[in-house]
Amino acid sequence: MSSNLFSLEGKTIVVTGANKGIGKEIAVMLAEADANVALVARDEQALEETARVIQEKGRAAESFPFDLTEVEHMNELFGSIYKRFGQIDVLLNNAGTNIPVPAEEVTEEQWDRIHDINLKSVFFACQAAGKWMREAGHGKIINMSSQMAFVGYYNRAAYSSSKGGITQLTKSLAIEWASDGINVNAVAPTFIETPMTEKMFEDTEFKEEVLARIPLGRLARPEDLFGAVAFLSSASSDMVTGQTIVVDGGWTVW
């Protein structure tokens, strides 16, 4: 089997939410796999730090500070990325948020905030990137879903519905854009161990309850997602579209 099947060398990959956590970790891993990375998030200073780390590895990286809820400017963002790199091969819609509260306490503002970032911005980013991919005749879109798209859990009514929307959006776009040579897939992780979630898991009872639901017996780490992301970004997944790869240690097997 040709090693080029899994190669990311020379590909331009757009990563949203690349300023910290999972997005930053995956952006660096993509660069280590010889991809060029366009980094998107609101925090310019943090993006520049991610770009510096990647550039030190000898790959091209550029930060594009942008508020993803400003969907009316999404075409301008992707136009700038295309102008800088001359191509957009892969879009990883990683940016997301959650406000864990009981369903009866969710406010309209909280609901809109979660859906604006987790679902609305993803659709319009796909739309904007898809324009350049259609012109090129190929492209890969990877949306970050969640195991919560498939199972229910406490205090996550708004979050789960937004991620369920991602999984269905992925299927719809895959059907519409297949004839344009664009593959659209998603990755659905379980709870991930990052500096951002560290405080959450200081609640020992909560952590034990979560671990009891994961047959493999541990939280996921950002590197656990990289195999799925690399696969869906490479030529090895050319016949895969409309799918959500669940990376959950077996949670949804129950």
For the chain, domains (ranges, CATH) are 3-193+221-243 (3.40.50.720)
Q: Which of 82, 153, 154, 159 is catalytic?
A: 159
pLDDT recorded at residue 120: 98
Q: What is the DSSP letter of 116?
A: I
Is residue 159 annotated as a catalytic residue, yes or no?
Answer: yes
pTM of the model: 0.97
CA distances from 10 to 32, 72, 95, 139, 199 (A): 12, 30, 23, 14, 38
Q: Put the strands of the sheet holding 36-41 in their side by side order.
A: 61-65, 36-41, 12-16, 90-93, 139-144, 182-189, 244-247
How much is the pLDDT for 57?
86
218-232 confidence digits (pLDDT tens): 999 999 999 999 999
Binning pLDDT at 50, 70 and 90, where does residue 196 land? confident
Q: How many CA atoms lie within 13 A of 210 on its CB side?
A: 20
| Structure confidence at residue 3 (pLDDT) | 65
What is the tens place of the pLDDT at every residue in 142-173? Answer: 999 999 999 999 999 999 999 999 999 999 99
Reported as a single tens digit per residue, the pLDDT across 37-95 is 999 999 999 999 999 999 998 889 999 999 999 999 999 999 999 999 999 999 999 99
CA dist list (Å): 110 to 6, 117, 147: 40, 11, 21
Tens-place pLDDT, residues 202-253 = 999 999 999 999 999 999 999 999 999 999 999 999 999 999 999 999 999 9
Q: CB-based burial of residue 2 (10 Å sphere; 0-12 exposed, 13-18 middle, 19+ buried)?
A: exposed
Q: What is the mean pLDDT of residues 105-123?
A: 98
- Distance separating alpha carbons of residues 243 and 132, to the nearest angstrom: 22
Q: How confident is the model at residue 141 (pLDDT cuts 50, 70, 90)?
A: very high
